[in-house]
Amino acid sequence: MVKSMRRGRRTRQENPQKVSAIGPGMLGGRYRPLTRSDEKQIHQTILDVLENIGMGDPIPIVKEHALERGCFINDHGRLCFPRAFIEDAISSAPKNARLFGRDPKHDIDVGDNHVHNYGGGEAVNMLDVGASRYRPSTLDDLYDTARLVDRMDNIHALARLVVPTEIQDQLSCDINSAYVSAAGTLKHTQLTFADASHVQPTLEMLYMIAGGKEKFHERPFCNGGGCPVISPLRYGKDNSEVCVESIKFGAPIWVTVAPQAGATAPAALAGAVVQSVAEALAGMLMVHVVDPRTPVVLGPWPFVSDLRTGSFTGGSGEEAVVSAAAVQMINFYGLPSSVGAGMTDSKLPDYQAGYEKALAIALAAQAGCNDVSECSGMLGSLMALSLESMVIDNDLLGAVLRTVRGIEVNEETLSYDVIQQVVHGEGHYLRAQQTLDLMRTEYEYPAIADRMTPGEFEAAGSPDIRQQAGERVKSILSSHYPEYIEPAIDAKIRERFPILLKPENMRSGNSRW
């Protein structure tokens, strides 16, 4: 049958499923900064730390359950976990879990070195399109980030990218954050709570969005969790309670710890890995003693200090390598993993931002991180978010995922026959059947990265990538106003909850874009 080009074009335009070389959940794990012997030594030290030094300030419910199960309080009044208990917990803990999207195409399976990228970061500032100064972030900004993530193929799930700083009431802040996320994207969303008492009311709202409690729990499209450890090695009350209360989602709990090498973790990078993984395990054990069936995504996020000033540096080579090592340790345990990567110290989407992000994200993804977080749009050591940066990062993440996919080597791809045919034939591969077959599936094409010739570039007015990104942000955000919450349900939600996002800001033609 002869196919016309016109039909080919139509098919491609009508088929929304983009053909791509990459996708969510590709297998990483090839990059291993630690040797097998390093892994074992780190593991033994982690057991020593949790068994002998233990954790300070466990909340009562955790302490009670832990003591019942053979854990003990040492002479310093700290909760200690016997090594056999820790090893049992690791081996019996759920190794794989599904994070549901509201559309099944966005489902994410964590565990087994599957790589996914998360938007997240809790920045308190925005860098507006074209701007050079930060301003405080708002609920409208968070809504915009959700809508943009919804359209970014290489950002697979959402977390709170910016904090709505104008909302003083913390309960309102948490509920509104969940609302605008659900209004802006069908991708899985990881929620944050300032207090455990905020979990239930937020769930009530999510039940309404899902069409009922049972419906939500069939496919919980949000999960909860927190940062339950104050480094070094002390449980924080509020976030411990949030983590335990988040078991109610019936979804994996995210637990993130962020000790900072040189300040709240050892300056020796191996020690920073030991402490951060020990703290992440302590977070998991806390959930485990209360409910051993609930999966935990372990987030040992070893941060790094710039010891010249004491401040956090997210963009350093040290940050990239310790994060990859932390992922390697969580994979050593076979548990679901998360690290922060792409937390550049640069204040603008510039060359520094690009190289710092690429390095950290590439190493984390290559190490096989299930949840590469903070990788989209973050600037200024997590202090700000730029939507332009998010669009550029989407290209960056695509390129990184292409490296994760690697190179398939088999008789066909080795291409002996094709080489022979071309050499004896046309002398080039552009019309070879193999090229036609592979041009979309072997290669990943960036959406905005510049691949023009210098002449074309000059003719286009020499636009830099930030300009291109800004145009794309405006084009998406001025038109992508999805109706992900049914109007009738939305009205009921607004009756019952103090939703602060104005309905007119959820339709095109508003003054914002």
Partner 1 sequence: MTDQYEDKEIILSDLPDDELIDQMHDDLYDGMAKEIAEGTQILLDRGWSAQQVLTEALVGGMAVVGIDFRDGVLFVPEVLMAANAMKAGMAILKPMLSEAGSKPVGKMVIGTVKGDIHDIGKNLVGMMMEGAGFEVIDLGINIDADTYIEAIEEHQANILGMSALLTTTMPYMKVVIDRMVEKGIRDKYKVLVGGAPLNEEFGQAVGADAYCRDAATAVDAAKELLAAAS
Residues contacting 483, CB < 8 A, separation 6+: none
Q: Taking CB under 8 A as the rule, does residue 469 contact partner 1?
A: no
Q: Taking CB under 8 A as the rule, does residue 171 contact partner 1?
A: no
Looking at beta carbons only, is 305 or 389 nearer to partner 1? 305
CB of 117 to partner 1, least distance (A): 24
Q: CA-CA distance, 356 to 12, in Å (whole number)?
A: 36
Q: CA-CA distance, 426 to 423, in Å (whole number)?
A: 7
**Residues in 268-307 at the binding interface with partner 1, rule: CB under 8 A:** 305, 307
Secondary structure (3-state) at 176: helix
CB of 308 to partner 1, least distance (A): 5
State both tokens at 464.
Answer: 């830099």
Looking at beta carbons only, is 42 or 227 nearer to partner 1? 227
**Residues in 22-51 at the binding interface with partner 1, rule: CB under 8 A:** none
Rule CB under 8 A: choose which of 47, 71, 80, 173 binds partner 1: 173
Looking at beta carbons only, is 260 or 370 nearer to partner 1? 260
Nearest Cα to 304, choosing from 286, 285, 283, 325?
325
**Residues in 228-257 at the binding interface with partner 1, rule: CB under 8 A:** 230, 236
Are 501 and 140 spatial neighbours (Cβ–Cβ below 8 Å)?
yes
Q: Taking CB under 8 A as the rule, does residue 124 contact partner 1?
A: yes
Instruction: Give me the amino acid identity at 346.
Output: S
Rule CB under 8 A: choose which of 263, 270, 418, 489 binds partner 1: 263
Q: Which stretch binds partner 1 (CB under 8 A): 47-55, 176-184, 261-269, 353-361?
A: 261-269
Q: Taking CB under 8 A as the rule, does residue 197 contact partner 1?
A: no
Rule CB under 8 A: choose which of 134, 179, 484, 513 binds partner 1: 134
How many beta carbons lie within 10 A of that of residue 195, not counting itself? 14
Nearest Cα to 183, choosing from 513, 477, 506, 498?
506
Q: Taking CB under 8 A as the rule, does residue 170 contact partner 1?
A: yes
Rule CB under 8 A: choose which of 171, 194, 399, 489 binds partner 1: 194
How many residues are recorded in the chain? 513
Write a three-state SS string for 334-349: CCCEEEECCCCCCCCC
Looking at beta carbons only, is 52 or 311 nearer to partner 1? 311
Q: CA-CA distance, 475 to 447, in Å (whole number)?
A: 13
Q: What is the DSSP string of 70-97?
A: T-EE-TTS-EE--HHHHHHHHHHS---E
What is the phi-psi region of residue 130: left when phi exceeds 0, alpha when psi lies from -120 to 50, beta otherwise?
left
Place of tokens 């009431």: 169
Looking at beta carbons only, is 33 or 236 nearer to partner 1? 236
Rule CB under 8 A: choose which of 41, 45, 165, 352 binds partner 1: 165
Rule CB under 8 A: choose which of 132, 309, 410, 453 binds partner 1: 309
Rule CB under 8 A: choose which of 312, 481, 484, 513 binds partner 1: 312
Residues contacting 47, CB < 8 A, separation 6+: 83, 86, 87
Secondary structure (3-state) at 223: strand
Looking at beta carbons only, is 20 or 165 nearer to partner 1? 165
Binding-site string for partner 1 from residue 374 to residue 393, where x marks contact by CB under 8 A and - marks none: ---------x----------
Are 457 and 468 spatial neighbours (Cβ–Cβ below 8 Å)?
no
Nearest Cα to 135, choosing from 173, 162, 101?
162
Q: CA-CA distance, 339 to 28, in Å (whole number)?
A: 14
Q: Which stretch binds partner 1 (CB under 8 A): 38-46, 162-170, 284-292, 463-471?
A: 162-170
Q: CA-CA distance, 58 to 189, in Å (whole number)?
A: 28
Binding-site string for partner 1 from residue 69 to residue 108, where x marks contact by CB under 8 A and - marks none: ----------------------------------------
CA dist 101 → 109, 159, 177, 222, 504 (Å)? 11, 13, 17, 8, 26
CA dist 409 → 24, 168, 369, 453 (Å)? 21, 56, 24, 32
Q: How many residues form the binding site for partner 1 (CB under 8 A)?
A: 25
Secondary structure (3-state) at 57: coil
Looking at beta carbons only, is 240 or 323 nearer to partner 1? 240
Q: Taking CB under 8 A as the rule, does residue 344 contact partner 1?
A: no
CB of 293 to partner 1, least distance (A): 31
Q: Taking CB under 8 A as the rule, does residue 311 contact partner 1?
A: yes
CB of 498 to partner 1, least distance (A): 17
CB of 251 to partner 1, least distance (A): 23
Rule CB under 8 A: choose which of 13, 15, 168, 410 binds partner 1: 168
CB of 506 to partner 1, least distance (A): 24
State both tokens at 252.
Answer: 């994996």
Q: CA-CA distance, 205 to 397, in Å (whole number)?
A: 33
Looking at beta carbons only, is 315 or 398 nearer to partner 1? 315
Chain contacts with partner 1 (rule: CB under 8 A): 122, 124-125, 134, 136, 163, 165, 168, 170, 173, 194, 230, 236, 260, 262-264, 305, 307-312, 383
